[in-house]
Structure 1
């Protein structure tokens, strides 16, 4: 269930900045009532438009705020005339902010046309100059087009984000499926044999203990062989060499929609260092896919001052001013590297994103 949320303070401030044209009708407000009506209109517009831009609240709440904005704007324009026609520009923009995020924003387009028609009729009724009507008319069209473009861009960005999350989930699910398939291939036949032989042992236990003992010995042998095969399979997953792990990381990132550049200038490393850095690559890649929302990731393996150095850096949405708080996976890697005389450092990138650097003396 999607939880309705309020617009952020930043969103409301961003919308409020664009209400400076309301200064003109404010200077023409000859009465306290007019000024109060204009203030109420601006507050309703800022909150309602911010709700629309950020898809906050419920559809009903957004509709209610648009109705308030449209009613106040039209009423004030009718009551006070030429200098208040600008309010209908904001009525149009609010309608597009609220309804313009749909794939086919027909409602938003219709509301914009209604605001333009109201501007024309009210301007003619108040005998406003055609220059004023035309300027306000053109401003409403251009502003509405800009707001519509922003809303559509926001919709496309949201769809892209959902697609990237789905790709990341698919990459993780594919890895789990591959592991489960390998385990099934290893254990399916073995467990079937164990079950059959156990049934034989149960039937022979009383009338032919020697044959039952022989079958039990076979079960023991099959079980031991199964344990060996499982250890080999798990070792293959856990201790893949660095070269293979880098190749797998690039494929996993690509599947999740993240462009990856892999640079390796280090010579072949000792087996222990190779396996340990492969662990680091696997954990770092998993974190990038699951948590970073990145578009690009750089992985480099170099030798600096007698130590192998692995760096994984992404351009995700980790704030440049934030302090990393490593989870259990990174804490476990830190302990493993420190036990081998190495170190693991994490930091926010100056341009946004996250970087991880592992150093291991050779």
Structure 2
């Protein structure tokens, strides 16, 4: 009869070391987890060599722990060595070839599958971080471009206005008519500058509804989000067209960056726009700056903006 005390001690030790390996690894303490893994491997093979047939189920557990703790190409070499060692131990213990095949298959695939799955999670996390970093860089570049454009647009105009204002100050005491002409020039230059600024800001706010819908299809497809676009007949007025285009851009940006959605529906009926996704919603978070700014402009135009955070996220913009 086999001794029960050493077997019980082995079970407790292997279970404790297995749990310790997993917890330390997921907490980022890989050095200590590696030491615990070495102890688990030693205890497992000691039990296999001592008690043989009834303990071969420990082999898949120790390779799963290897897949969690270890990274890189070394894991494949170690799994190969452990599998071969298990074959030798089982063969010397007199196990049948059917048992050896089953045990070695579970041992090899257990650690391999866990290692691949964790690697995929790591790659997905890196891709998410890269996407967020690219979004931040794009925003920074857009702000820089906007500042350069405003400087180029207003720098010369403001210089002209300053020069003419100085001329008005000099001419006012002795030649009121000439000063009035200079003041009229300042007014004309100011009106022209205001028109140019409005045109520039409109260009930054949106490229129009049709262009934003086309861009939305491309962006969502690149993000592996299935998109359905439904547009009724008719074309909104220019101001409404620009605002709805901006709403499409803002809504699609939120879907790509925050929703983790698989599908997105964009529906336009006249001047009512809906963007609906099946993602995780906002989770109680307040609206961001983009949606708040969009709300202000929709209200200024006499429309309404509604959101619903249930079974995904819904953005509805209605213009008069």
Is the shorter-chain TM-score for this pair beyond 0.5, marking a shared fold?
yes
Q: Which residue of 2 aligns with 1:139?
A: 106
Instruction: Work out whether 1:359 is the aligned partner of 2:318.
Output: yes
Q: 1:65: Cα distance to partner?
A: 3.6
CA deviation string 1:255-287 (max 9, x = no partner): 767665433214223456445434432332332
Matched residues in 2 for 1:113 and 1:257: separation? 37
2:198 to 210, 225, 231: 231
Does the 8 A contact of 2:67 with 2:111 survive in 1?
A: yes
Alignment of 1:50-129 (within 5 A): 56-100=27-71, 105-124=72-91, 127-129=93-95
Distance 1:180 1:117 in 2: 65
Equivalent-residue separation in structure 2 for 1:230 and 1:248 (angstroms): 25
Kept after mapping to 2: 8 A contact 1:187/1:226: yes
Specify every segment of 5 or more residues in structure 2 that has no aligned partner in the other structure, as ranges.
none
8 A Cα contact 1:66 1:94, kept in partner: yes
- Taking structure 1 as the reference length, the TM-score comes to 0.66
Distance 1:201 1:358 in 2: 48
Alpha-carbon offset, residue 150 of structure 1: 2.4
Which residue matches 1:130?
96
- Matches of residues 1-362 of structure 1 in structure 2 within 5 Å? 31-49=4-22, 56-100=27-71, 105-124=72-91, 127-131=93-97, 132-173=99-140, 175-190=142-157, 197=163, 225-238=192-205, 241-250=208-217, 260-270=227-237, 273-294=240-261, 297-303=264-270, 308-318=271-281, 325-331=286-292, 333-334=294-295, 337=298, 340=302, 342-349=304-311, 353-360=312-319, 362=320
CA contact (8 A) 2:304 2:317 kept: yes
Separation in structure 2 between the aligned mates of residue 260 and residue 317 of structure 1, nearest angstrom? 17
Which secondary structure does the structure 2 equivalent of 1:81 belong to?
helix
* 3-state SS in 1 of match to 2:28: coil
Q: Distance in 1 between matches of 2:53 and 2:199?
A: 83
Residue 57 of structure 1 aligns to a residue in which SS?
coil
Provide structure 1 residue ranges, at least 5 long, that are not aligned to the other structure.
1-27
For 1:354 and 1:77, the matched residues in 2 are separated by: 55
Shift of 1:112: 0.9
Structure 1 residue 90, shift from structure 2 partner = 1.8
1:190–1:298 CA distance, 2 compared to 1 (3 A): same
Pairwise CA distance, 1:234: 1.6
- Contact 1:347–1:356 (CA under 8 A) maintained in structure 2: no
1:193-213 superposed Cα distances (whole Å, 9 cap, x missing partner): 678x59x969x98xxx98xx8
Pair 282,129 (structure 1): closer, same or farther in 2 beyond 3 Å = closer
After superposition, the Cα gap between the structure-2 partners of 1:163 and 1:266, relative to the gap in structure 1 and judged at 3 Å, is farther
Q: CA RMSD in A?
A: 4.3
Q: Partners in 2 of 1:347 and 1:135 — Cα distance?
A: 49
Shift of 1:107: 0.8
